[in-house]
Amino acid sequence: MASPSPLFLLLILLFSILPSPTSPSSINDTPSTYIVSVHPDAVKPSIFPTHSHWYQSSLSSLLSPSPPLLIHTYTGAAFHGFSVKLSPTQALLLRAQPHVLSLLPDRLRRLHTTRSPHFLGLGTSTDSAGLLKDSDFGSDLVVAVLDTGISPDRQSFHVRDLPPVPTKWKGSCVNTPDFPSSSCNRKLVGAKFFCAGYEATNEFRSPRDSDGHGTHTASIAAGRYVYPASTLGYARGLAAGMAPKARLAVYKVCWTAGCYDSDILAAFDAAVADGVDVISLSVGGVVVPYYLDAIAIGAFGAMDRGIFVSASAGNGGPGALTVTNVAPWVTTVGAGTLDRDFPADVKLGNGKVIPGMSVYSGPGLAPGKTYPLVYAGTQAGDGYSSSLCLEGSLDPKFVAGKIVMCDRGINSRAAKGEVPNSPPPTATIVFKGTRLGVKPAPVVASFSARGPNPESPEILKPDLVAPGLNILAAWPDKVSPSGIPSDHRTTEFNILSGTSMACPHVSGLAALLKAAHPEWSPAAIKSAFMTTAYTVDNRGETMLDESDFGSGHVHPQKAMDPGLVYDLTTFDYVDFLCNSNYTEQNIKVVTRKNADCSGARRAGHSGNLNYPSMAVVFQQYGIKQKMSTHFIRTVTNVGDGESVYSARVVAPAGMAATVKPEKLVFRRVGQKLNFLVRVQTRVAKLAPGGSVMKSGFIVWSDGKHNVTSPIVVTLQQPL
């Protein structure tokens, strides 16, 4: 499936946010919020005491009876500039000021809505060895969660046996009527909220969580050990986050309507200034060029300060080109299954059994009895909304005592389960509780967004997958497990699914790796995850393809000792953007650095970014029958001082792949060596607009470590 070119998308965006100066009569002057990027080398005039005064003065010069007021002033920790509501005319005038670099439209993002530690091989707090012990359970690390806030009184956030807050921490806890500053402690070290971009009206104007999503993701990343833990009688056992002793800093950026870029960027800026070590973001939106993407910009600013950023891949699967948060400096996480499920069979009156899953906790249906089965779209309500079983759309009198079949659709979480089980046909439901040892596992969840990467096809996304289906984690006491107002049940834990749940698994694991290897860069941590990931399920079968799972499923224990890493600096990313044909001004918007692209473009192509995976798209133009490309990579020895690695290359089917040299001889830890992989292929017979993806891999092995990178080749026939 072909995607619109970045240039075409950019032109659409520019014409949509800025009016034509030649036709003022046609201008729609309805104000919109813009994020204003200020030149990083622009110096604040000394006449102004603060940057806020300077920026407000800039707004005073705009044509308006009263100048617009600032929404956010960004400190410069992750982004240099401010956000403000402007008319299109005012936006044009502001853009013309010499210290203004660019204007980004404020976009709305959406949330990408315990057995996982055991499934990942992390064991329990009594382990005598392994990643948990070597990292002291992440004790001195701070994980920032940008989400819907937190419910601080949950058992997962208790302070028992935690040492004092790390002295490097510079953050704070806001004080509001429903969230006093005493809510923070040695576990929850910081809590702030950002709602200026979206003025919430019916929610806590504080870091307190009125949705549940933020509490859930925070406890996945860094929840303490809690036993017994379950929800509605399901998934009973020990609950724990990935980094049980890591500290949490919560930045509430998501509200009922969603999460606005201006607030997200303010949270990035605050988190970097506060001194966090990891940022976890289970939020996403449409893919746009990086210089128009506030998450990509904020994440770059964090990465530039040595902060690891992980983000959810999105829930748009299983279709291709659905992955979000695709910048190469972000670790993009898809969702896989656990070896645990909650089986429930629908047994039809004709004897046919349809397997499914359920966490229904009420009384079971009468054994041997069947109930009328009705379709909500035609028999139980008003059509479209009833077909999705939206709350209030079904006729209670009609559906009472029946089993209602709904379409999968937009309704949130478990709302479809709130209708009582509502002529022939008939059916019954048999609930079977919790089942362990499920095979196959892991499997990439159907909803998990897939590649290829729509913005940078030569960067394989998602990067990897982690548990994201039916995840048990902490839940606010004032939010029902279904999230439906008419549901008055409460629970300490809840089960949710989504790449939102997969992302904080990797965030917490990154805290463990950073604690065990404080000298590792964010790119080195990502590399350790990717090159040690596995692609074989518990039946010994290979999981689908790399556009689904990237490098594979995260393997924490092996990531602790990867042998070699593919490291990157901020200047490597600048070269990547140059080779991606970004202008030097657009690169400055993302990186806050001046870029001279002439040297970078002479040196190679965007696929030569020192990434732990290798991907290329061949456009089958003209009469050329053979095509080839090369990947130049540099690996850094983080294993044994003296070691020899030999390469094994498995080419994509029907293609040829070679590596030079075939051996890498290291003399010391920290030594860097280069190699080159060349891939050759012939033109494939494809229909106009068609494409085919094939994959192989390269493994560097010293007998102890296996450093694996996928090689993915896409052949595409133009229309």
Q: How far apart are CA 241 and CA 137, in angstroms?
A: 10
At position 179, the amino acid (one-letter code) is F
Helix (H, G, I), strand (E, B) or coil at 708: strand
Helix (H, G, I), strand (E, B) or coil at 277: coil
Q: How far apart are CA 646 and CA 166, in angstroms?
A: 42
Beta strands across the sheet bearing 258-260: 254-255, 258-260, 108-111, 283-284
Catalytic residue among 72, 112, 213, 505: 213
Residue in the block written with tokens 């004080």: 175
Find the DSSP H helices in 396-489: 396-399
- Of all residues in the chain, what percent are helix, strand and coil, respectively (each to 5)? 25, 30, 50
Beta strands across the sheet bearing 626-637: 564-565, 626-637, 672-682, 656-660
Q: How far apart are CA 513 and CA 559, in angstroms?
A: 8
Known catalytic residue at 500:
yes
Q: How far apart are CA 78 and CA 299, in angstroms?
A: 8
Q: How far apart are CA 501 and CA 188, in angstroms?
A: 20
Find the DSSP H helices in 73-185: 88-95, 115-119, 131-134
Q: How far apart are CA 501 and CA 530, in angstroms?
A: 19
Q: How far apart are CA 580 and CA 610, in angstroms?
A: 14
Catalytic residue among 206, 282, 448, 500: 500
Backbone angles phi, psi at 472, to 5 degrees: -85, 130
Residue in the block written with tokens 């303490």: 224
As given in the structure block, the two tokens for residue 370 are 């069947």
Known catalytic residue at 630:
no
Catalytic residue among 140, 147, 209, 274: 147
As given in the structure block, the two tokens for residue 292 are 């128009």
Q: How far apart are CA 369 and CA 420, in angstroms?
A: 16
How many Cα atoms sit within 13 Å of 14 on the Cβ side? Answer: 12
Known catalytic residue at 269:
no
As given in the structure block, the two tokens for residue 430 are 């048999």
Question: Quick one: which H or E segment has residue 300?
Answer: helix 294-304
What is the sign, positive or negative, of the torsion defined by CA atoms of 678, 683, 689, 694? Answer: negative
Catalytic residue IDs = 147, 213, 500
